[in-house]
Copies of this chain bind each other. A is one copy, B any other.
């Protein structure tokens, strides 16, 4: 490809709305262009990189015996209503009506399509297992699309779905995908961690996220500095502390805390640590009252509360709830809560006693409150948000907080979809059984963004070789010198003949502009032909990622370029 023809105009400045490096650089280097909020056109350079990721994903899926199919983007509403996701996705799903007034949705994922499909074809346990995948654009009507490709409304996903006759089979299919995912992200050159994750809107039990590490990532996770444990913040747990012996109990005593309803305000007033206070948080779980107890220096993880109370939907008390149920907002304590309130205590509450907590009376707290004597606990659960420094649940090591972008997410779904959709097969014993399913997503365009985020410097992109749109660029620096132009053309031809994907910067612009664009676009290898080099029979090579520079004889240029290309990551 010749730069003079390439549909790519680099930008000196990124639009102000581009907040993170990947978004800025993919715009500046002419990989993508915005069409509207959360929807982009992929320009030739970006499209080549995206297709390279797609091909890596496809190869690893095929190598894992997954079979490629392609399902529609426009989908009938009915199966989504049966599984309940038409409702739970709500506004996040693009919905429309066709000319005959039938309700359609744009697929955000395809469990509701693939499950009836498999049930229609594979009817016997002998047919199983099977794993189908597609690489297709998906749709979510995000409230606030941002960060370029990271939170778009149209995004390219690889989604795979495994169907097994039993849970052992499902776990085996899951493990095959787990390994395939590692190969995909390794081949893409990403720095990533595999974490235990929250199942979110997809459902199911076991699931893992593959998170590309990035400071600007929207997804927080923890990992252990001592062992392999890692989990996203919504799913992470810390080792429960030892229970404190319930001895040396103080007597409860009311203290006036006028106008102080926050942990900070009370602890300041009483000159006590937040950790000595007991927060009592109130929730409505499908009409029932739930009180969650947690030390004052910790936060409740509401996803965990949601899982504990599942399938009841959980929401924090509103002002009306406090009023109607006779609990004093800001001064709630567990002592004396009626029997119809479910009291859940985080495991960390076992480590304390003589708590300071609300007096269930405006402007008063109580000190010296202890579990057992002063309040009951109906359920001990892990409902706290993990913090950096918490002990690892596996080995007790120190948990480190980190950020990243989820690029892959795999789920053991069990019968979450096959049951409501009545997708069954005939088992060996003649009984109808629901398929045991797994589902497996990769954010194909997110990998591009994650790689751009991980591999850049102040001058531009530094693609891993596997993802670069081209392997190399030939830069003739003096276009007014026929010998330079000719050497550039020859080298361009020779490299193409050797199967190197190469660009020739044949534009009539200064060497400075060419170098800046080459650095910005991020070709792994730059081959520079200049006037002085022609005179001395040499050319210059630069590896973009390492900055390594070499000189090579002009006659040996192709070999030198190939050699340098072979050494870059």
Write the residues of chain A forming the contact surface with B, with a CB cutoff of 8 angstroms: 5-9, 30, 33, 35-36, 39-44, 47, 50, 65, 67-76, 91, 94-96, 98-99, 102, 104, 106, 113, 117-118, 120-122, 130, 132, 137, 139, 141, 143, 153-154
Contacts of A71 in B (CB 8 A): 35, 41-42
Bound: A58/B40 CA distance, A: 21
Query: Are A74 and B153 within 8 A (Cβ)?
Result: yes
Contacts of A137 in B (CB 8 A): 73, 137
Bound: A42/B69 CA distance, A: 5
Query: Are B76 and A113 within 8 A (Cβ)?
Result: no
Contacts of A50 in B (CB 8 A): 70
| Shortest distance between the CB of A14 and any CB in chain B (Å) | 15
Q: Check A68/B44 contact, CB under 8 A, given A7-B121, A96-B95, A98-B94.
A: yes
Contacts of A30 in B (CB 8 A): 121
Contacts of A104 in B (CB 8 A): 94
Q: Check A99/B141 contact, CB under 8 A, given A72-B35, A121-B9, A154-B74.
A: yes
Query: Are A70 and B94 within 8 A (Cβ)?
Result: no
Q: Could you name 22 residue pairs across A and B whose Cβ atoms are closer than 8 Å?
A: A5-B65, A5-B130, A7-B130, A8-B121, A9-B121, A33-B117, A35-B113, A39-B72, A42-B70, A42-B71, A43-B69, A44-B67, A44-B69, A47-B68, A72-B154, A74-B94, A91-B99, A94-B104, A95-B96, A98-B153, A99-B141, A137-B137
CB within 8 A of A7: which of B43, B72, B132, B154?
B132
| Copies of this chain per assembly | 2
Query: Are A41 and B72 within 8 A (Cβ)?
Result: yes
Residue of B with least CB distance to A93:
B99
Query: Are B40 and A72 within 8 A (Cβ)?
Result: yes
Bound: A42/B117 CA distance, A: 11
Bound: A113/B95 CA distance, A: 22
Query: Are B44 and A74 within 8 A (Cβ)?
Result: no
Residue of B with least CB distance to A507:
B126
Bound: A36/B98 CA distance, A: 12
Contacts of A154 in B (CB 8 A): 72-74
| Shortest distance between the CB of A303 and any CB in chain B (Å) | 23
Residue of B with least CB distance to A123:
B9
Bound: A196/B516 CA distance, A: 48
Contacts of A72 in B (CB 8 A): 35-36, 39-41, 154
Query: Are B153 and A122 within 8 A (Cβ)?
Result: no
Bound: A117/B32 CA distance, A: 11
Query: Are A117 and B41 within 8 A (Cβ)?
Result: yes
Contacts of A33 in B (CB 8 A): 117, 120-121
| Shortest distance between the CB of A220 and any CB in chain B (Å) | 26
| Shortest distance between the CB of A276 and any CB in chain B (Å) | 45
Bound: A47/B133 CA distance, A: 11
7 more CB-based (< 8 A) A-B contacts, given A9-B122, A36-B102, A74-B154: A7-B121, A43-B69, A44-B69, A72-B154, A94-B98, A96-B96, A98-B153
Bound: A99/B118 CA distance, A: 33
Contacts of A36 in B (CB 8 A): 72, 75-76, 102
Residue of B with least CB distance to A132:
B7
Bound: A337/B5 CA distance, A: 59
Bound: A121/B29 CA distance, A: 12
Q: Check A41/B113 contact, CB under 8 A, given A75-B35, A99-B91, A141-B98.
A: yes
CB within 8 A of A39: which of B42, B69, B74, B153?
B74
Query: Are A99 and B41 within 8 A (Cβ)?
Result: no
Residue of B with least CB distance to A143:
B99
Contacts of A117 in B (CB 8 A): 33, 41
Query: Are A96 and B98 within 8 A (Cβ)?
Result: no
Contacts of A106 in B (CB 8 A): 74
Query: Are A41 and B70 within 8 A (Cβ)?
Result: yes
